[in-house]
């Protein structure tokens, strides 16, 4: 089984495009767009995650993101 055949069977994006009559190029474009979205999301999440920063003088600071960057989930129902 080729790598592309494996993707046709196991990757929902590729499978959907191929069932709709798309080409391998259509799959490549769709996967590239998906990767770009995931990179943007990862960059955002890394930007709001707390981290320790060790300063040259040995002190350690903990950076926490501003409250407006933290998403809100409504659990009231």
pLDDT level of residue 68 (50, 70, 90 thresholds): confident
pLDDT digits (tens, 9 = 90+) for 20-60: 999 999 999 999 999 999 999 998 888 888 889 999 999 99
What is the rounded distance in angstroms from the CA atom of residue 40 to the CA atom of residue 32?
Answer: 12
Let me know: does 1 contact 8? Beta carbons within 8 Å. Answer: no
**Helices and strands (DSSP H and E) totals, the chain:** 3, 2
Q: With H, G, I as helix, E, B as strand and everything else as coil, classify residue 62.
A: strand
pTM of the model: 0.63
* Angle between helical axes of 24-48 and 12-19 (0-180°, round to 10): 150
Beta bridge partners of 30: none
Query: What is the rounded average pLDDT of the residues 5-21?
Result: 93
């Amino acid at each position: 089984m080729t790598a592309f055949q494996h993707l046709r069977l196991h990757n929902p994006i590729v499978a959907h495009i191929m069932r709709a009559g798309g080409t391998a190029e259509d799959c490549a474009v769709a996967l590239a767009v998906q990767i770009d979205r995931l990179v943007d999301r990862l960059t955002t999440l890394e930007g709001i995650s707390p981290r320790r920063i060790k300063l040259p003088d040995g002190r350690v600071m903990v950076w926490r993101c501003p409250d407006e960057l933290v998403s809100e989930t409504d659990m009231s129902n």
